[in-house]
Amino acid sequence: MKNSISKWSRMFMLTIGVVSLVALASCKKDKDDDPPKNPIASFQFAVSATNHLEVTFTNFSQNATSYEWNFGDGQTSTEKDPVHTYATPGSYTIVLTAKNSVNASATFNSAIELQDPNSALTLLAGETSKTWKLFREGTSMGVGPDAAGARTWWALENTGARPCYYYQTFTFKKDGSFVFDDQGAFWGEGAIFSGTAQNEVCFEAIPANMVNTAGADVSAWLSGTHAYTYEPTTNTITLTGLGAWMGNPQSGTSATSVVPEASKSFKAVIEQRTGYDLLTISYTYDGFYWDFSYASYSNPALEPEVVVVAPPYGEDLPDLTPTEMWNTFETATSFVVLDTAGVYPGNGSAANGGMAFTIGVADPAGVGANCGKYDRKGTYQELQFQRENDIQFDNFSTVSIDVYMPSSNNYSGTLTKDIAIIIGEASQTSQWWTGHIQYDAQVTVMDAWVTYTFNLNEPTSGPGMGVYTPATRTDLDFFAISLGGGGHTDEGTFYIRNFRFN
When pLDDT is cut at 50, 70 and 90, the band that residue 447 belongs to is: very high
Strands 390-391, 319-320: parallel, antiparallel or unpaired by DSSP? Answer: parallel
Assess if residue 79 is contained within a domain: yes
Where does residue 375 rank: exposed (0-12), middle (13-18), buried (19+ CB within 10 A)?
Answer: middle
Mean pLDDT of 343-347: 42
Residue pair 48/54 in contact (Cβ under 8 Å)? The answer is yes
92: nearest Cα among 138, 57, 140, 40 = 57
When pLDDT is cut at 50, 70 and 90, the band that residue 342 belongs to is: low
What pLDDT, on a 0 to 100 scale, did the predictor assign at position 111?
92
Quick check: 353 pLDDT over 60? no
User: What is the DSSP annotation of 94-108?
Assistant: EEEEEE-TT--EEEE
Q: What is the pLDDT of residues 468-477, one digit of tens each?
A: 999 999 999 9
Single-letter code of the amino acid located at 166:
Y
Judgement on whether residues 487 and 394 belong to the same structural domain of the protein? yes
What pLDDT, on a 0 to 100 scale, did the predictor assign at position 380?
67
Quick check: 10 pLDDT over 70? no
| Residue that wins the pLDDT comparison between 354 and 237 | 237
What pLDDT, on a 0 to 100 scale, did the predictor assign at position 26?
45
Total residue count of the chain as it appears in this document? 502
Percent of the chain with pLDDT over 90: 71
What pLDDT, on a 0 to 100 scale, did the predictor assign at position 379?
60
Judgement on whether residues 209 and 98 belong to the same structural domain of the protein? no
Residue pair 109/96 in contact (Cβ under 8 Å)? The answer is yes
Assess if residue 454 is contained within a domain: yes
Q: What CATH code is carried by the domain that includes residue 457?
A: 2.60.120.430
Judgement on whether residues 170 and 294 belong to the same structural domain of the protein? yes
What pLDDT, on a 0 to 100 scale, did the predictor assign at position 32?
53
DSSP state of 426: -
Mean pLDDT of 175-190: 97
| Residue that wins the pLDDT comparison between 500 and 485 | 500
When pLDDT is cut at 50, 70 and 90, the band that residue 214 belongs to is: very high
Mean pLDDT of 10-16: 41
Judgement on whether residues 104 and 210 belong to the same structural domain of the protein? no
Judgement on whether residues 230 and 83 belong to the same structural domain of the protein? no
Judgement on whether residues 456 and 468 belong to the same structural domain of the protein? yes
Q: What CATH code is carried by the domain that includes residue 93?
A: 2.60.40.10
What pLDDT, on a 0 to 100 scale, did the predictor assign at position 344?
41
Judgement on whether residues 439 and 409 belong to the same structural domain of the protein? yes
Assess if residue 325 is contained within a domain: yes
What pLDDT, on a 0 to 100 scale, did the predictor assign at position 50?
84
Assess if residue 12 is contained within a domain: no
What pLDDT, on a 0 to 100 scale, did the predictor assign at position 22?
40
Quick check: 205 pLDDT over 50? yes
Domain-terminating residue out of 114, 147, 175: 114
| Residue that wins the pLDDT comparison between 250 and 346 | 250
Quick check: 231 pLDDT over 80? yes
Judgement on whether residues 169 and 295 belong to the same structural domain of the protein? yes
| Residue that wins the pLDDT comparison between 432 and 293 | 293
Domain-terminating residue out of 88, 114, 140: 114
d(CA 400, CA 209): 38
What pLDDT, on a 0 to 100 scale, did the predictor assign at position 5?
41
When pLDDT is cut at 50, 70 and 90, the band that residue 354 belongs to is: low
**pTM value surpassing 0.75:** no
Mean pLDDT of 74-96: 94
Judgement on whether residues 60 and 161 belong to the same structural domain of the protein? no
Structural domain count of the chain: 3
Mean pLDDT of 256-268: 96
Number of C-beta neighbours around residue 217 at 10 A = 12
d(CA 96, CA 263): 34
Assess if residue 233 is contained within a domain: yes
Assess if residue 217 is contained within a domain: yes
Strands 139-144, 288-297: parallel, antiparallel or unpaired by DSSP? Answer: antiparallel
Assess if residue 32 is contained within a domain: no
Assess if residue 291 is contained within a domain: yes
Judgement on whether residues 298 and 383 belong to the same structural domain of the protein? no
Cα 124 from chain centroid (whole Å): 26
Q: What is the pLDDT of residues 45-72, one digit of tens each?
A: 998 888 889 999 999 999 999 999 999 9
Judgement on whether residues 463 and 492 belong to the same structural domain of the protein? yes
Expressed as residue numbers, the domain containing 401 is 319-501
Element (H, E) at 166: helix 163-167
Q: What is the mean pLDDT of the chain?
A: 89
Judgement on whether residues 131 and 209 belong to the same structural domain of the protein? yes
Domain-terminating residue out of 114, 146, 172: 114
When pLDDT is cut at 50, 70 and 90, the band that residue 211 belongs to is: very high
Quick check: 382 pLDDT over 90? no
What pLDDT, on a 0 to 100 scale, did the predictor assign at position 27?
47
Element (H, E) at 25: helix 2-32
Give 326's strand partners: 337, 500
